[in-house]
């Protein structure tokens, strides 16, 4: 079974189950968000946080190179950011309303899986406390946390890798045909440029129905069935490049149901 099919099946399963089990999860309802718009399907986000085998308390030594990964599922689009002792260390709290405004009056599916990683090429005693991955989709704010501590006298000249990094990206997305859809690709390092390619390595252009936004996200103004498939977000700099894949799944809620007339009855199997 190919990677795209596995990813799609995983997305559909998550869409049905709604919540992933994760350690140290705290949910906060945002009182400023109204969900009265019935044209927008809403599903509180869930978040799964992977760091090491011990997710409740992790000890490091100064000079260690670390990588943390977080995955969030929900509806509508999820904004993910990282905090250390409540202070943002990657990403931001701002949520974009562009997609919702473009789809005003339409039924949105908006089911998405978002991946995010925090990479550090060197840590010192400053990397001590509560590290949290926070997911906010405007319905709820959910975070998953781990207690970390760093010991040792080594002091890092820099903590971030010089190579280009993609901090947050859409792994898969289900959306109604004809709607606008945004696929995230957020750089986590300076001096990085973003481009998007299809699975054949062709750069996505506006004349083909794709728009790369200033923040690196991909906007598809009108999603079509033939756009189903895998796309790559590519971050490049003088230090190299990084790629992350997203799967686009258009759907049509108005498609006629199969009549069953003249077809094979599979219930006997």
201: region left, alpha or beta (phi > 0 left; psi from -120 to 50 alpha): left
Does the pLDDT of residue 48 top 70, yes or no?
A: no
Q: In the prediction, which pLDDT does 260 show?
A: 53
Cβ-in-10-Å burial (0-12, 13-18, 19+) of 166 comes to buried
**Number of Cβ within a 10 Å radius of residue 101:** 9
End-to-end, the C-alpha distance of the chain in Å comes to: 23
Residue 248's pLDDT band (cuts 50, 70, 90) = very high
Nearest residue to 18 (alpha-carbon basis) of 51, 53, 48:
48
CA distances from 127 to 31, 51, 93, 241 (A): 32, 14, 21, 26
Got the DSSP string for the chain?
--HHHHHHHHHHHHHHH-----TTEEEEE-TT-----TTB--EEEEEEEESSS-SSEEEEETT--EEEEEEEEEES--EEEEEETTEEEES-S----HHHHHTTTS-B--EEEEEEEEEES---TTS-EEEEEEEE-SSEEEEEEEEEEEESS---S-SS-SS--EEEEEEEEEEETTS-EEE-EEE-SSS-EEEEEETTSPBP-GGGT-EE-TTS-EEESS--GGG-EEEEEEEEETTEEEEEEEEEEEE-TTSPPP--TTS--GGG-
Does the pLDDT of residue 33 top 80, yes or no?
A: no
pLDDT in tens, 56-110: 557 888 888 888 888 898 888 899 999 999 999 999 998 888 998 999 999 888 8
Specify the pairing of strand 111-120 against strand 66-75. antiparallel
Q: In the prediction, which pLDDT does 195 show?
A: 96
Q: Are 196 and 233 in contact (CB under 8 A)?
A: yes
Q: In the prediction, which pLDDT does 44 show?
A: 58
Planar angle of CA 172, 203, 109, nearest 5 degrees = 25
Alpha carbon distance 166, 186 (integer Å):
6
For residue 91, the Cα-to-chain-centroid distance in whole angstroms is 12
Q: In the prediction, which pLDDT does 6 show?
A: 43
Does the pLDDT of residue 203 top 50, yes or no?
A: yes
Q: In the prediction, which pLDDT does 85 show?
A: 96
Does the pLDDT of residue 256 top 70, yes or no?
A: no
């Amino acid at each position: 079974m190919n990677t795209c099919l596995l990813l799609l099946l995983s997305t559909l399963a998550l869409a049905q189950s709604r919540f992933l089990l994760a350690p140290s999860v705290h949910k906060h309802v945002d009182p400023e968000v109204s969900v009265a718009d019935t044209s927008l399907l809403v599903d509180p986000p869930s978040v799964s946080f992977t760091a090491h085998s011990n997710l409740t308390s992790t000890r490091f030594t100064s000079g260690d190179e670390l990588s943390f990964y977080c995955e969030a599922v929900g509806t509508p689009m999820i904004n993910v950011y990282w905090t250390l002792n409540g202070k943002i260390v990657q990403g931001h709290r701002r949520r974009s309303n562009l997609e919702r405004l473009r789809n005003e009056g339409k039924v949105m599916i908006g089911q998405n899986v978002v991946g995010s990683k925090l990479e550090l090429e060197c840590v010192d005693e400053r990397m001590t406390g509560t590290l949290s991955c926070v997911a906010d989709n405007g319905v709820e704010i959910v975070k998953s946390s781990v207690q970390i501590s760093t010991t040792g006298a080594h002091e890092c000249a820099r903590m971030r890798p010089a190579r280009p990094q993609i901090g947050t990206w859409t792994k898969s997305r289900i959306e109604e045909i004809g709607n606008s859809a945004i696929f995230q690709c957020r750089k986590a390092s300076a001096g990085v440029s973003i481009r998007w390619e299809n699975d054949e390595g062709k750069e996505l252009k506006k004349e083909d129905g794709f728009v790369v936004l200033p923040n690196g996200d991909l906007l598809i103004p009108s999603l079509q069935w033939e756009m189903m498939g895998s796309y790559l977000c590519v971050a490049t700099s003088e230090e190299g490049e990084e790629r992350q894949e997203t799967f686009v799944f258009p759907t049509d809620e108005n498609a006629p149901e199969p009549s069953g007339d003249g077809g094979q009855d599979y219930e006997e199997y």
